[in-house]
Each structure stands twice: as C-alpha cells, then as structure tokens.
C-alpha cells in the first residue's frame, strides 16, 4: 500500500523507510565473536539503525563512521550516513557524505537520492549550502542525482515530486508531466499534484490539457480557490479573456473583497473588450481598495479603448498629482499612470507632451519595460527616430525575446527604408514568439514590400489583413502591395477598407488620392 503523498512530502529529506523506534526490550545487533570473525561494515550499519531508533543520534553517527573506518570503500555506509544527516536536517553534512559515497560508486541510488533531495530543498529555500558554492549549480546537480535515484521510475513518489518541481523551475515542463501524471494516478486525492500537473501542461503549451486537469480538480473540490485562480490564469495565457473573466469571478465568490481578484477580472474583461463590465470592475476595485491604482488604470484604459483621449487625461490628472504629493513611495504608481497619460497624448498628436510624460515615468520606474517601450514609441512619433532606435535596442539587450519591441524596431526601420535586412530579421524573431500576430505579419509583409520582394510580401500581408479587417494601416499596406502586383481593383478595395476602418495613423486624403489615381489610370 503506497504511503499517502502528504507524508511523502515530509520524507523528501528522509529515507523512504526511516528507522523505526525498536519495540520495548529490543536489543542491539549481537556482537560477533572477535576471536573467530571480524566485525564488518554491515554490523555498524545495523547498530546505527538501532541507535537512531533509540534516539541516540550521536551514537548512530559514531557507529556509521566506525563502519566507514572498517570498510573505507563502502558506498552504502556513507550513503546511510548521508541519509541519517538528512533526517536530522543537517543538510551540509548530508550532501558531503553523499558526495563521498558517489566518489566510490557514482550510481549508488541512495546517495543520489539524498544528494538530489537535499539540493532540491536548498533550491526551494533559496539558500547557499556552503561558503564558496555557486547556488546556480544546485538545480542541475539535483536533477542529475534524482534521475539516477529514480531508476526506472517505479519507486519513491517523493523523488518524482522533487524532480518534477525542478523540471518546471528549469523550464522543462514536458519532462515534468509524466512524473506528475504518475503521482496523481497513484495519489488522486493529492490536490497539489494536480495543480502542479496543470502548471506543467500550461507551461508546455498544452493549455487545453491544463484546463481539463483543473476542471477535474474542481469537480471534486468546487471550493478550491487555488484551482479556480489557476484556471483563470491558464485562460488568460490562452488569450481566452472572456473565459478568464468568468473564472476570476468564480474565484472572487470564494473571497469577495479580494482586490487582486477584482483587478485580475477587470484586466481580463478589458482584454476581452467587454468595456462596460471592465469599467464596473474598476469601480468595484476602487470601492474595495481606494489606494489600489489599478482601478483608475482600468477605467482609463476603458476610456482609451473608446477613443475618449481627453477624458483619459482629465481622469488621470488629479490622481497623478495626488500620488506625486505622496512622495517617492508612490513612484511606481505615478509611472504607471504617466504611461497611460503619455499614450493618450500620443493619440491626440501632442507628441512633445507625450515624450515629457513618458520620460518622467521612465525616470521614476527605470526598470519598467512597458514605460520605456512607450517612450520609444513617443520618440518615434515625435520624429526623434535615432533616440527611439537607441531606446528599443537597449530594451532588446535586456530581453531579446520582447516581441513587441522586436516588431516595433523592425517596422520602424522598414518605414524609414533603412537596414531592411535587419528589419526583416527583427520581425521574424517577433513572429517566432507570436507566429500568428496580425500586426507582426503586417510588419513583415511591409518590410518585404520595401525590399521589392512582392512574392514574399503577399502571404503575410494577406493573412494580416484577414486577421484585422478594420485596421486601416494594414489595409493601406495591402492596397499598396496589390497596386505593385498590377491588381488595381484589389488595391482600390483594400484602400476603401482602410478608409472604412479604424482610421488610426492614416492620412485619409492621401489614401483617397491613391484610389482616384488608380481609377483614372489607363487599363
């Protein structure tokens, strides 16, 4: 019968079969006749087990050390000493004894189990075991040891659990999934195992599997707050924002005044473009926690989505002044609202004011990548492309996988008609992160148009225009491509779609002139 998993968790640093206290009247191992037989290491091994069961830890350690002296090449006795130290929470000594055992027998499973388990616990506690150690080396060493200890994987579930956690922490979620699946199959009542399995499935890109796993938990435990919050997070990562908002609402029923849950629901509603509901959530958040700046932030985002940019400025101004008066402790909150203020000013073509607001935000929150990205965009819109390019390149040195920055810089270079090969490369890198993003596909197609590679431009621009039919800029780009392809009627249709679209960042008069010229051109 398997040990219940919660107990196994307690045994992570202990032997799976820790010595039990002997029954009353039990005796230590019978001594051998010293005239006829020499005491070997196994005698001291058993003697140490007896002493530990009696609570005489110092005597147990001394017995094992005597066993090592009798048989210096015994990996088993050293591994037992490591296990004894681990059971006493003497982590450094446990690791050292395990390492000594492994110098004799690198495949010794018990020594590897102790080494891996102790290092995994140290990683979890974010501690340094010994002076001079590099803690960055602990996870790799722990994984290597536990993989040996696990063998064919039919033994201790605590090994699987420790190894699965390490795999997830090291961005190897696919390797964690079968281990966690075994755990929940054998211990179906262990909720933490199911939650970890869902985390691994989501991180591995198996969002639907994660949803199914979490729904399995909720069928058995409908009041599991963690499962409901995890489900909402998975939906957000899948960009299923309506479902995410509903999941956050269910979690909020379990904790109605939790400001974090209200905020998360508000952002999901905002991303789902459910603007009335998002505004209601923002007001609810401000009522629940007047100091939580996210309430006014969501309200401002709702106004921005409705293109009420002056209302955004009017809403933010008194709050920014209030937070500024509060001093340095509110710097990050001021920066958040200044970022929105700058974005609204950009939409009103008040570019210099936008740069000033975003520069202020960046100074207050220099590590806020979103604010610095917005500042780069404001510099670009203000005609200060050299500064904008420097800002975007600096962001990419800190996060080479920042898809928005990769795309913006690539598109900016394409618009300028300079460094076109690099522009294509940057946008392709963005598309590796988000392969179907219509805005990135438009950027790639436009860069190809600028290079004169019309055949390469066709597929991404066509797909982008289908994905965002109301985006005026994309439809304008498609019209330019179609004209270059001698498809005049298709070009006119695309430009008309641009005029009927959102109208953002286009010159309507210029597009109308292109339509008129195409109609007048000889067939």
Q: What is the 3-state secondary structure (H, E, C) of 350-403?
A: CHHHHHHHHHHHHHHCCCCHHHHHHHHHHHHHCCCHHHHHHHHHHHHHHCCCCH
The CATH-assigned architecture of domain 222-294 is: Alpha Horseshoe (1.25)
Q: What pLDDT is recorded for position 27?
A: 56
Question: Which CATH number, 1.25.40.10, 3.20.20.100, 3.40.190.290, 1.10.600.10, labels domain 1-170?
Answer: 1.25.40.10
Q: Which CATH class is domain 307-398?
A: mainly alpha
The CA-atom distances, in angstroms, between 200 and each of 112, 167, 318 are 25, 9, 44
Q: What pLDDT is recorded for position 132?
A: 87
* Nearest-angstrom CA–CA distance, 390 and 396: 10
Q: What pLDDT is recorded for position 30?
A: 52
* Nearest-angstrom CA–CA distance, 448 and 456: 6
HEC string of 132-200?
A: CCCHHHHHHHHHHHHHHHHCCCCCCHHHHHHHHHHHHHCCCHHHHHHHHHHHHHHCCCCHHHHHHHHHH
Q: What pLDDT is recorded for position 502?
A: 86
* Nearest-angstrom CA–CA distance, 337 and 371: 10
* Nearest-angstrom CA–CA distance, 77 and 89: 19
For helices 157-169 and 173-186, what crossing angle results, to 10°? Answer: 150
Q: What pLDDT is recorded for position 9?
A: 31
| Token output for 31 | 């001594």
Q: What pLDDT is recorded for position 32?
A: 42
Q: What pLDDT is recorded for position 204?
A: 93
Q: What pLDDT is recorded for position 487?
A: 95
* Nearest-angstrom CA–CA distance, 517 and 480: 12
Q: What is the pLDDT along the chain (523 residues), one digit of tens a residue?
A: 322 333 223 333 333 344 544 444 455 665 544 433 457 888 999 999 999 999 999 999 999 999 999 999 999 999 999 999 999 999 999 999 999 999 999 999 999 999 999 999 998 888 888 888 898 999 999 999 999 999 887 778 999 999 999 999 999 999 999 999 999 999 999 999 999 999 999 999 999 999 999 999 999 999 999 999 999 999 999 889 999 999 999 999 999 889 999 999 999 999 999 999 999 999 999 999 988 999 999 999 999 999 899 999 999 999 999 998 888 788 889 998 999 999 999 889 899 999 999 999 999 888 889 889 999 999 998 999 999 999 999 999 999 999 999 999 999 999 999 999 999 999 999 999 999 899 999 999 999 999 999 999 999 999 999 999 999 999 999 999 999 999 999 999 999 999 999 888 889 999 999 999 999 888 7
* Nearest-angstrom CA–CA distance, 103 and 79: 11
The CA-atom distances, in angstroms, between 221 and each of 180, 248, 395 are 19, 16, 44
| Token output for 341 | 């203020």
* Nearest-angstrom CA–CA distance, 191 and 30: 46
Residue 114 burial class via C-beta count within 10 angstroms: exposed 0-12, middle 13-18, buried 19 and up: buried
Entry field: residues in the chain: 523
The answer to whether residues 420 and 444 touch, using CB atoms and an 8 Å cutoff, is no
Closest CA to 426 of 377, 459, 471, 393: 393
The answer to whether residues 146 and 164 touch, using CB atoms and an 8 Å cutoff, is no
CATH 1.25.40.10 region(s) of the chain? 1-170, 222-294, 307-398
The CA-atom distances, in angstroms, between 336 and each of 124, 200, 339 are 32, 32, 5
Q: Determine the topology of domain 400-456 in CATH.
A: 1.25.40
pTM for this entry: 0.74
């Amino acid at each position: 019968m398997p040990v219940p998993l919660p107990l196994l968790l307690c045994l992570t640093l202990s032997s799976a079969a820790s010595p039990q206290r002997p029954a009353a009247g039990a005796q230590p191992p019978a001594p051998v006749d010293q005239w006829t037989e020499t005491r070997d290491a196994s005698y001291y091994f058993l003697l140490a087990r007896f002493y530990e069961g009696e609570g005489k830890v110092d005597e147990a350690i001394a017995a094992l050390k005597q066993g090592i002296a009798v048989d210096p090449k015994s990996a088993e006795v050293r591994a037992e000493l490591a296990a004894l130290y681990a059971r006493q929470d003497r982590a450094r000594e446990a690791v050292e004894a395990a390492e000594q055992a492994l110098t004799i027998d690198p495949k010794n499973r018990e020594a590897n189990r102790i080494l891996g388990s102790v290092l995994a616990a140290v990683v979890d506690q974010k501690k340094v075991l010994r002076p001079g150690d590099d803690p960055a080396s602990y996870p790799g060493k722990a994984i290597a040891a536990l993989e040996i200890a696990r063998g064919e994987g039919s033994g201790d579930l605590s090994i699987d659990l420790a190894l699965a956690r390490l795999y997830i922490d090291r961005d190897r979620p696919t390797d964690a999934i079968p281990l966690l699946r075994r755990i929940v199959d054998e211990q179906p009542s262990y909720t933490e195992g199911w939650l970890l399995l869902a985390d691994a499935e989501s991180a591995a890109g198996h969002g639907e599997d994660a949803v199914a796993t979490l729904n399995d938990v909720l069928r058995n435990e409908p009041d599991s707050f963690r499962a409901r919050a995890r489900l909402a997070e998975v939906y957000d990562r899948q960009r299923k924002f309506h479902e995410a908002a509903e999941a956050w609402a269910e979690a909020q029923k379990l904790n109605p005044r939790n400001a974090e849950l209200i905020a998360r629901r508000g952002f999901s509603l905002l991303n789902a473009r459910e603007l009335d509901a998002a505004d209601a959530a923002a007001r609810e958040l401000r009522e629940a926690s007047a100091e939580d700046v996210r309430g006014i932030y969501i309200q401002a985002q709702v106004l921005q989505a409705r293109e009420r940019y002056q209302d955004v400025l009017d809403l933010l101004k008194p709050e920014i002044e209030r937070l500024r008066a509060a001093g340095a402790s509110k710097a990050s909150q001021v920066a958040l609202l200044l970022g929105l203020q700058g974005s609204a000013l950009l939409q009103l073509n008040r570019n210099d004011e936008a740069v000033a607001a975003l520069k202020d935000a960046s100074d207050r929150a220099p590590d806020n990548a979103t604010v610095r990205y917005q500042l780069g965009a404001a510099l670009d819109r203000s005609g200060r492309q050299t500064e904008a390019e420097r800002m975007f390149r600096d962001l990419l040195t800190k996060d080479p996988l920042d898809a928005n920055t990769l795309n913006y810089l690539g598109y900016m270079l394409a618009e300028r008609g300079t460094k076109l090969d690099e522009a294509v490369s940057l946008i392709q890198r963005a598309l590796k992160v988000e392969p179907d993003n219509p805005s990135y596909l438009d950027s790639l197609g436009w860069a190809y148009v600028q290079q004169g590679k019309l055949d390469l431009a066709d597929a991404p621009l066509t797909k982008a225009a289908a994905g965002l039919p109301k985006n005026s800029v994309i439809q304008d780009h498609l019209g330019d491509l179609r004209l270059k392809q001698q498809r005049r009627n298709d070009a006119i249709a695309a430009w008309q779609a641009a005029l009927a679209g959102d109208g953002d960042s286009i010159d309507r008069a210029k597009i109308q002139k292109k339509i008129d010229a195409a109609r007048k051109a000889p067939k």
